[in-house]
């Protein structure tokens, strides 16, 4: 009897959380190029970080603050094109290629508009924005140096915002169709350029001028244009493989009904990504009031942690594409099952990766030219991230599951409203109304992430998010493109 119950329980567990070989081969085929791309990119970011860090703590912190501001723009672009991405993935599942092309045009127009706004704000309001992070205890001369370094770096980096936005527009559409290799190749080319010219321009090797952090910004700027060039040229010169992009620029027509539907999904996502990224920078600003060294420690920790977070961040794309395509094909039961299998797989891998990160956290900060206090803070922050990695992976997959079914207002509540209504007040109280040292306070601050993961699981479990949103959004396919698209 007990053996029968055990077998029955195992079969239920296996059916809900474990996929077959074909399932994992599809998932890995989709995410491995993204994992390779992001791993190489983050590893180069680590090397860049070490190079800039070798110039001094004020240079490291100035660049870190500027990158926090760029982070808000990057996620705003992600949010702005995500609404169209939901439709794009479901259009692919429905084999509606004209719908995919129109969703791409929507992304292109919105991303360009957001970029114009972002460039203006970051260029003309650099001083007050950077100064927000320089209110903690520390030397006034160091704070002034951080401001000057951050401003110098940001004034160059703003010119890379447009190629970044256009690259995300192309790469997102390619991934929605299952073509993740080209974005990977373009990113690898970019990081090679970035790494090479960082080495040459930061330190002035082989006759190049020694430009310090300005050299780092110029190298990144060059890499943005290389990445865009590779993905655009390759896409439009390989017509048979990327047939769905044929005719995309013959007009900028987007059906009025479809445009309104995409806009209705995009606006909550744009607001969400902007407000969520702003909440993350606000949290860092709150933590930075505990001292200027906190900013340097957070920068080192986030650079290393991002390298380990590549897997679970990439799995969000797996949820968006596979579940979105299943929903577009009107297979809701399959879509729901895919979510739980991806979450379980993601959590298991993150437990292993978190253990590795915790074990090496004390060693990595030694490669930085900084103080022992900054190294100690970075170690604490990394071990905290390792402890919460599986929770963050769960919340991340839940977010993309909700988004794949078009529940963008729920994702807004889940991400931004939760961050501003719960996380920020909670962390503010810990920082300003307790005497806890930052090394004890930071793990407590991250406890809110675990609660968010639990909430996400409960919401996804309802299954109400799983629906086909393109069945009534099918623009007519031009006859000349039907022949090309099959």
Q: Does residue 328 have a pLDDT over 90?
A: no
- What's the rounded Cα separation, in Å, for the pair 472 and 469? 7
Cβ-in-10-Å burial (0-12, 13-18, 19+) of 332 comes to middle
Residue 49 forms part of a structural domain: yes
- CA gap 34, 61 in Å, rounded: 29
pLDDT tens, residue by residue, 218-251: 998 999 999 999 999 998 888 888 888 887 787 7
- The tally of domains found in the chain comes to 1
CA–centroid distance for 182 within its chain:
18
Q: Would you say how long the chain is, in residues? A: 486
Report how far apart, in Å, the C-alpha atoms of 57 and of each of 52, 53, 186, 209, 375 are.
Answer: 9, 6, 32, 22, 11
Which residues form the domain of 473? 19-485
The half-sphere exposure of 482 on its side-chain side, counting CA atoms within 13 A, is 5
Q: pLDDT of 50-64, one tens digit each?
A: 777 777 777 877 887
Q: Is the pLDDT of residue 476 over 50?
A: no
Which three-class secondary structure state does DSSP give residue 271? helix
pLDDT of 484 higher than 60: no
Cα–Cα distance for residue pair 133/292, rounded to 1 Å: 8
CA–CA gap between residue 266 and residue 411 (Å, rounded): 11
Q: Which pLDDT score, from 0 to 100, does residue 230 have?
A: 93
The closest of 47, 68, 26 to 294, measured between CA atoms, is 68
Could you tell me which of 151, 61, 168 has the C-alpha nearest to residue 114? 168
Residue % of the chain over a pLDDT of 90 = 20
CA distance 203 to 473: 54
Is residue 237 in some structural domain?
A: yes
12 found inside a domain: no
Q: Cα–Cα distances in Å, from 240 out to 190, 332, 371, 485?
A: 25, 31, 56, 9
Flag whether 314 is in a domain: yes
CA distances 33 to 27, 51, 241, 346, Å, are 11, 27, 17, 16
Residue found by looking up tokens 């709150």 in the block: 286
Q: Is residue 256 part of a domain?
A: yes
319 touches 342 (CB < 8 A): yes
pLDDT at 308 over 50: yes
- φ and ψ of 478, to 5 deg: -60, 135
The answer to whether residue 367 sits within a structural domain is yes
2 within domain boundaries: no
Enter the tokens of residue 140: 């006034």
Average pLDDT score over the chain: 82
The encoded tokens of residue 246 equal: 């044929």
pLDDT at res. 41: 67
With tokens 């979510």, the residue in question is 339
- pLDDT of amino acid 478: 42
Residue 453 belongs to some domain of the structure: yes
Q: Give the residue from 230, 251, 247, 249 showing the smallest Cα distance to 239.
A: 247
Task: Answer whether 374's CB lies under 8 Å from 59's CB.
Answer: no
User: CA triplet 364, 343, 454: central angle to 5 degrees?
Assistant: 90
Q: Alpha-carbon distance 40 to 387, whole Å?
A: 24
pTM for the whole structure: 0.69
Q: Is 245 exposed, middle or buried (0-12, 13-18, 19+ CB in 10 A)?
A: buried
Find the angle CA(57)-CA(61)-CA(66) to the nearest 5 degrees.
150
Label residue 1 by pLDDT band (50, 70, 90): low
pLDDT, tens digit, for every residue of 138-194? 567 777 888 888 888 889 999 999 999 999 899 888 888 878 788 888 888 988 898
Question: pLDDT: is 37 or 439 the higher one?
Answer: 439
Residue 103 CA to chain centroid, in angstroms?
Answer: 21
């Amino acid at each position: 009897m007990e053996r029968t119950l055990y077998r029955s329980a195992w079969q239920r567990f296996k059916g809900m959380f474990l996929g077959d070989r074909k399932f994992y081969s599809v998932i890995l085929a989709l995410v491995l190029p993204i994992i390779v791309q992001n791993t190489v990119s983050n590893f180069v970011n680590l090397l860049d970080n070490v190079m800039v860090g070798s110039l001094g703590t004020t240079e490291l912190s100035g660049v870190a603050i500027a990158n926090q501001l760029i982070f808000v723009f990057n996620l705003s672009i992600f949010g702005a094109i995500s609404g169209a991405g939901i439709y794009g993935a479901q259009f692919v599942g429905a084999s509606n290629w004209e719908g995919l092309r129109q969703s791409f045009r929507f992304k292109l127009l919105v991303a360009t508009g957001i970029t114009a706004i972002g460039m203006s704000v970051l260029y003309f309001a650099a001083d007050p924005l950077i100064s927000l992070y320089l209110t903690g205890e520390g030397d006034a001369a160091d704070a002034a140096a951080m401001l000057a370094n951050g401003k110098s770096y940001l004034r160059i980096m703003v010119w890379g915002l447009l190629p970044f936005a256009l690259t995300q527009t192309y790469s997102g559409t390619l991934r929605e169709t299952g073509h993740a290799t080209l974005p990977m190749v373009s990113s690898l080319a970019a990081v090679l350029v970035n790494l090479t010219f960082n080495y040459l321009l930061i330190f002035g090797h082989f006759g190049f001028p020694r430009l310090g952090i300005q050299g780092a910004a110029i190298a990144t700027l060059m890499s943005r244009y290389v990445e865009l060039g590779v993905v655009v040229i390759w896409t439009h010169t390989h017509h048979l493989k990327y047939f769905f992009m044929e005719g995309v620029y013959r007009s900028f027509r987007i059906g009025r009904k479809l445009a309104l539907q995409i806009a209705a999904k995009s606006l909550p996502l744009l607001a969400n990504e902007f407000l969520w990224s702003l909440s993350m920078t606000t949290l860092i600003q709150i933590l930075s009031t505990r001292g200027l060294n906190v900013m340097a420690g957070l920068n080192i920790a986030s650079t290393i942690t991002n390298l380990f977070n590549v897997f679970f961040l990439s799995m969000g794309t797996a949820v968006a594409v596979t579940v979105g395509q299943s929903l577009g094909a009107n297979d809701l039961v399959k879509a729901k099952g895919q979510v739980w299998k991806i979450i379980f797989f993601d959590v298991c891998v993150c437990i292993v990766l978190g253990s590795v990160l915790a074990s090496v956290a004390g060693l990595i900060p030694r490669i930085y030219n900084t103080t022992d206090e900054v190294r100690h803070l970075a170690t604490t922050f990394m071990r905290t991230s390792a402890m919460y990695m599986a929770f963050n992976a769960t919340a991340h997959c839940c977010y993309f599951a909700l988004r794949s079914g078009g529940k963008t207002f729920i994702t807004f509540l889940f991400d931004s409203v939760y961050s501003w209504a719960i996380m920020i007040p909670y962390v503010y109280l810990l920082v300003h109304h307790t005497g806890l040292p930052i090394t004890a306070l930071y793990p407590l601050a991250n406890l809110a992430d675990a609660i968010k993961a639990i909430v996400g699981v409960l919401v996804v479990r309802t299954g109400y998010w799983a629906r086909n949103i393109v069945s009534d959004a099918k623009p007519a396919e031009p006859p000349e493109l039907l022949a090309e698209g099959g």
